[in-house]
Amino acid sequence: MTDRIAQIWGTRTPYAQGARWPARVDQALAEGVGEDDVDAWVQSACLLCSNGCACDIAVKDGAMVGIRGRADDTVNHGRLGPKGLFASWQGMSNKDRLTTPLIRENGVLVETSWDTAMGRIVERSRQLLEETGPLSHGFHTSGQLFLEEYYALGVIGKAGLGTPHMDGNTRLCTATAAAALKESFGSDGQPGTYEDIDDCDAMFLFGHNMAETQTVLWSRVLDRIEGPDRPLLVCVDPRETEVARHADVHLAIRPGTNLALMHGLVREVLEHGWIDDSFIAEHTIRLEDVRAAVEPWTPEAVAETCGVPAADVRRAAEIFGTADRVLSTVLQGFYQSWQATAASCAVNNLHLLRGLIGKPGCGVLQMNGQPTAQNTRECGADGDLPGFRNWENPEHIRQLAELWGVDELKIPHWAPPTHAMQVFRYAEQGSIRLLWVSGTNPAVSMPELPRIRKILADTFLVVQDLYLTETAALADVVLPAAGWGEKTGTFTNINRTVHLSRQAVEPPGQARSDLDIFLDYARRMDFRRNDGSPLLDWSGPEDAYAAWQECTRGRLCDYTGISWTKLEGNGVQWPCNDKAPEGTERLYTDAVFPTDLDRCETYGHDLLTGATVGPTPYKAMAPQGRAIFKTAPYSPPPEEPSEDFPLRFTTGRTAYHFHTRTKTGRSRPLNDAAPGAWVEVSPADARAHGISEGDLVDVTSARGRIQVPVRVSDIAEGTVFAPFHYGYWDQPDGAEPRAANELTLTEWDPVSKQPIYKNAAVRIGRVAASTGPSPAPTTTASRPARGTGAGIEPTTGGPAGQASETVLEPEES
Amino acid sequence: MKLPVYLALIERSEETLAASYRVVSEGHAAEPDVHFLLQTLASQCDKHRRILAPVLERHQLSDESDVPESLHHEGLSSTRSGPLGLLRDLQDLYLAASLVDITWTMLLQAGQGLADRDLIEAVQQCDGETSTQLGWLRTRMKQAAPQALIAAG
Ligand code: SF4
């Protein structure tokens, strides 16, 4: 047994370049339950981050009692991280689950029947349609539902109601991944694959604290690092993360300056001629735009703006320019930051310059935050059209109209689907008067919370969720949802791997799957096709999946070859069709990109302003299967430190929690590992403010304030960090504010519309002396600063944090 | 030669446009994207004037009254409120930016006629940004129009 709270990544199984990552089956069972006691193992995949580790759920007496990894699956080779091991099932079987629908009567939520609750929604919905039309309806969904559920929601919104106001909280976590892929390559779709970790010579992690966000993926990297021929590692992150500790070059840049650094790296690569001229000539366009944008960004200029040594910029560029095979990954440090799309496109540009794409070990992985964010994007439940279709392309709209049997004019396509921040703005202004939130908790996860809470309280709000979240508590109608292990469906992870997750147990009380809820709404609203038949005649997830397969036929995300039978067992990577019956490991092996006028998902944007390019200029550019170098000039972030707010504030994640802790906060070993909020301050800033470990401080921005204990950590001087997971559902009434988003500002990237969570200016002031160390874990980026850890208990899991690890011998080949 | 008239015209128009961007940025600060982006566009206009300054030096206007008032845009000194107000203000900005845009086109022609490399280069550094400004205004108005015209109270 291993303490998987203390050892987040488990025991090392080192391997060499090009070898297969050894399989190791991780397993955790409830206390007192042995393997022999398990009645059934039911196939699924973990739903607590975008890695989507394949697993089997242990069932005993109709309850989930544990989990183990699936050894043969391409994603995790049997491994599971702490969240998968403990929270996946413990987070579901909890006494706090919602079991009956609730409606608001005289200001309080009271229990009611499904019929009454749905009746109230439908009554409101019909009344608004009559008064104002579909623009009165807004939807805010999740990155945690199943594919079939998003597609149902997408069809309801676009062909049933006809509203463009539908987005996911994926806007907050992953919109920039999609935007950067679309701008550079013409379509969403992950170019690389996890196998690229096995083959690469160098890895660049751009704003990606992989060690905490996708712990199992980081195990794979660690096993390469400990292998005989470790890849070089470059880390861009203002914090001293686990990734930074293993890096050959750690660029601890100032939050908000990503694009300046990227310009510097691109410039160095160009300057030294580390480029593939024939690849550029044959497979790309508009290199001249990039040359112009990077021109001023010498390593010295980068050093000045970003606060890192020029020599490190040179060395990082040299590694990128000279390693044979380079893999890059990108996440929130870029996505939730200033100039997000431009900085993320710059990563694509680096790969295009060297032609390092579509080959083993040479991938780009534009990561996702949430487990099923990929499906939100594919299925049209966020600001995209289903099947990566282009809202500006009339032929694509015609295809959807034909699939759904409705008039083309019914499908809103006069502008891009409304992004989440704008949906909330319309609600604030009173033009969206029904807001339906499914599987997410904007009352904690959105920026500038005081404003968001007021909007939620003032709008007719429907919330479907597992628990009475901070958001559900403000709703007019609350619908109890069945979750992971309580329903059957599919979802897709970050490297295009589709998994089937089967129902293992009955949902609690009257809870229903999100799909059932959406289908019930569609039936009650009597949405119909032009021929008079019901718009959604699906009886369950298998019908929904079949309809989705049709929707993807011929598109980049082609699911037509992935039957549920094929998904029995292990995951399959799309596209999978007649031409690629076993799925596709990597995209763009032929360096032909989906930028053709007829095929592309977007005609692109100006990355500085977000102005759309439009069909005519796009046609004139004639990309014709070539990738596009997209860029923008660097501009400083909208909020920089000032006299009143002298410190840079940034937010992020810890390995032990997911999102707003609705599941992880209910798992004992995880909650004990990171029980409360904290703020990280560098030793120098702590000294300057007379603050020491554990002191209670106020952190204040122009928008709000939090009061939390201090962890003195090795974060870059001048920057402070707070984890965004902590809200109020497990706090007493009247507790001091602690949610990081009390402080963040409302602004978003002009192209991806992803909010900027990572750059705000704050001041910090001591409120009370320490009564003990802060609750921050010692095993992660929040560990005490070097030489300051005395007296701080290391984070361990005790008996509840134990899991078994079984390393399987490689099969003879 | 009337080139100085048009140089004075663009100089004034960029100044007015920058001021108008700033007025709308402040007036609609509750729309964060509009607020922050218009600040960026305003500083682009400032930059255009700096780029143009040496050319203006060379082609000085002899008589201020030569600049035809009918070609001058007043700019915005205040903003309207609400979703429709935003739309109207953006539309006003669109008109002001269009004037700048077409003036750049004429200056480019003149620069070519005169084989004045400095003038040509100055225009080329600026006119792309002005047309992107127009592009953004169009994009933003297209997004806002249905809600403002149909659903807003
Ligand atoms: S890495 Fe992600 S998907 Fe895998 S077990 Fe951990 S939380 Fe689950």
Q: What is the atom index within ligand 1 of the atom nearest the CA of A83? A: 7
Q: Which stretches of A666-730 are assigned E, i.e. beta strand?
A: 679-681, 696-700, 705-712, 719-723
What is the predicted pLDDT for the residue at B74? 79
Give pLDDT tens digits for A201-228. 999 999 999 999 999 999 999 999 999 9
Does residue B44 sit within a domain? yes
Residue B42 Cα, gap to closest chain A Cα (Å): 12
Q: Please name the member of B32, B40, B147 whose beta carbon is closest to the beta carbon of A426.
A: B147
Is the Cα dihedral A387, A389, A391, A395 positive or negative?
negative
Mean of pLDDT values over A629-648: 92
Closest CA to A782 of A732, A708, A728: A708
Q: Please name the member of B39, B136, B151 whose beta carbon is closest to the beta carbon of A135.
A: B151
By C-alpha distance, the chain A residue nearest B31 is A425
Does residue B140 sit within a domain? yes
- On chain B, the residues whose CB falls within 8 A of the CB of A618 are none
Q: What is the atom index within ligand 1 of the atom nearest the CA of A55? A: 5
User: Would you say the CB of residue A52 lies under 6 angstroms from ligand 1?
Assistant: yes
The answer to whether residues A341 and A145 touch, using CB atoms and an 8 Å cutoff, is no
By C-alpha distance, the chain B residue nearest A427 is B152
Does residue B87 sit within a domain? yes
Residue A718 has pLDDT above 60, yes or no: yes
* Boundaries of domain holding B37: 3-58+82-151
Residue A236 Cα, gap to closest chain B Cα (Å): 26
Band of the pLDDT at A302, cuts 50, 70, 90? very high
Probe site for chain A from B33, B134, B140 (most A CB atoms < 10 A): B33
Residue A59 has pLDDT above 50, yes or no: yes
Structurally, how many domains does chain B consist of?
A: 1
Give pLDDT tens digits for B106-118. 999 999 999 999 9
Q: Please name the member of B33, B41, B142 whose beta carbon is closest to the beta carbon of A748.
A: B33
What is the predicted pLDDT for the residue at B14? 95
Residue B77 Cα, gap to closest chain A Cα (Å): 24
Give the residue whose CA is nearest to atom 2 of ligand 1.
A49
At the second CATH level, the architecture of A647-782 is: Beta Barrel (2.40)
What's the DSSP call for residue A735? P
Query: Which contiguous run of DSSP H or E holds residue A248?
Result: none
User: Would you say the CB of residue A83 lies under 6 angstroms from ligand 1?
Assistant: yes
Q: Please name the member of A429, A606, A746 whose beta carbon is closest to the beta carbon of B132.
A: A606
Does residue B132 sit within a domain? yes
In chain B, the largest separation of any two C-alpha atoms, in whole Å, equals 55
Residue A617 Cα, gap to closest chain B Cα (Å): 12
What residues does A480 pair with on adjacent strands?
A465
Residue A284 CA, distance from chain mean position: 29
Prediction ipTM score? 0.89
Asked if the Cβ–Cβ distance from A608 to B152 is below 8 Å, we say no
Band of the pLDDT at A732, cuts 50, 70, 90? confident
User: Would you say the CB of residue A215 lies under 6 angstroms from ligand 1?
Assistant: yes
Choosing from A74, A75, A144, A215 the residue with most ligand 1 atoms within 8 A of its CB, the one to mutate for a pocket test is: A215
Q: What is the atom index within ligand 1 of the atom nearest the CA of A215? A: 1
Domain A175-367+594-602+610-628, CATH number (from 3.40.228.10, 3.30.70.330, 3.40.640.10, 3.40.50.2300): 3.40.228.10
What is the predicted pLDDT for the residue at B127? 93
C-alpha A424/C-alpha A418 separation (Å) is 10
Asked if the Cβ–Cβ distance from A610 to B139 is below 8 Å, we say yes
Residue B133 Cα, gap to closest chain A Cα (Å): 8
Cα-to-centroid distance, A81 and ligand 1 (Å): 5
Choosing from A55, A80, A372 the residue with most ligand 1 atoms within 8 A of its CB, the one to mutate for a pocket test is: A80
Tell whether B121 is within 8 A of chain A (Cβ): no
The answer to whether residues A393 and A598 touch, using CB atoms and an 8 Å cutoff, is yes
Q: Please name the member of B30, B83, B139 whose beta carbon is closest to the beta carbon of A431.
A: B83
Residue B71 has pLDDT above 80, yes or no: no
Give the residue whose CA is nearest to atom 6 of ligand 1.
A81
Task: Count CB-CB contacts under 10 A for residue A709.
Answer: 23
Closest CA to A68 of A76, A59, A57: A57
- On chain B, the residues whose CB falls within 8 A of the CB of A164 are 146
Asked if the Cβ–Cβ distance from B132 to A609 is below 8 Å, we say yes
User: Would you say the CB of residue A75 lies under 6 angstroms from ligand 1?
Assistant: no
Residue A373 backbone zone (phi > 0: left; psi -120 to 50: alpha; other: beta):
alpha
Full 3-state SS string of A51-88: CCCEEEEEEECCEEEEEEECCCCCCCCCCCCHHHHHHH
Q: Which stretches of A724-775 are assigned E, i.e. beta strand?
A: 760-768
Concatenating the DSSP letter of every residue in A580-628 gives STT--SSS-TT---S-STTT-S---B-TTT--B--HHHHHHH--TT-EE
Residue B56 Cα, gap to closest chain A Cα (Å): 26
Does residue B37 sit within a domain? yes
Tell whether B127 is within 8 A of chain A (Cβ): no
- On chain A, the residues whose CB falls within 8 A of the CB of B39 are 638
Band of the pLDDT at A506, cuts 50, 70, 90? very high
By C-alpha distance, the chain A residue nearest B128 is A606
C-alpha A391/C-alpha A158 separation (Å) is 12
The answer to whether residues B124 and A108 touch, using CB atoms and an 8 Å cutoff, is no
Task: Count CB-CB contacts under 10 A for residue A292.
Answer: 11
Tell whether B152 is within 8 A of chain A (Cβ): yes
What is the predicted pLDDT for the residue at A172? 82
Tell whether B31 is within 8 A of chain A (Cβ): yes
Give the residue whose CA is nearest to atom 8 of ligand 1.
A84
Residue A813 has pLDDT above 50, yes or no: no
How many angstroms separate the Cα of A484 from the Cα of each of A60, A209, A316, A372, A504?
16, 26, 42, 12, 9
Whole-structure pTM value = 0.93
Tell whether B29 is within 8 A of chain A (Cβ): no
Task: For CATH 2.40.40.20, list the domain ranges present in chain A.
Answer: 647-782
Burial code (b: 16+ CB inside 10 Å, e: under 16) for A766-776 equals: beeeeeebbbb
Choosing from A4, A25, A26, A46 the residue with most ligand 1 atoms within 8 A of its CB, the one to mutate for a pocket test is: A46
What's chain A's average pLDDT? 93
User: Would you say the CB of residue A214 lies under 6 angstroms from ligand 1?
Assistant: yes
Asked if the Cβ–Cβ distance from A609 to B152 is below 8 Å, we say no
What is the predicted pLDDT for the residue at B65? 67
Cα-to-centroid distance, A49 and ligand 1 (Å): 5
Cα-to-centroid distance, A771 and ligand 1 (Å): 34
Q: Please name the member of B39, B135, B142 whose beta carbon is closest to the beta carbon of A606.
A: B135
Q: What is the atom index within ligand 1 of the atom nearest the CA of A75? A: 4
Give the residue whose CA is nearest to atom 4 of ligand 1.
A53
Q: Please name the member of A414, A431, A638 whose beta carbon is closest to the beta carbon of B36.
A: A638
Q: Please give the share of chain A, as a percent, with pLDDT higher than 70.
A: 100
Residue B131 Cα, gap to closest chain A Cα (Å): 10
User: Would you say the CB of residue A81 lies under 6 angstroms from ligand 1?
Assistant: yes
Asked if the Cβ–Cβ distance from A747 to B33 is below 8 Å, we say yes
Task: For CATH 3.40.228.10, list the domain ranges present in chain A.
Answer: 175-367+594-602+610-628
User: Would you say the CB of residue A84 lies under 6 angstroms from ligand 1?
Assistant: yes
Residue A754 has pLDDT above 60, yes or no: yes
Length of chain B: 153
User: Would you say the CB of residue A216 lies under 6 angstroms from ligand 1?
Assistant: yes
Residue A187 has pLDDT above 60, yes or no: yes
Mean of pLDDT values over A418-436: 94
Tell whether B83 is within 8 A of chain A (Cβ): yes
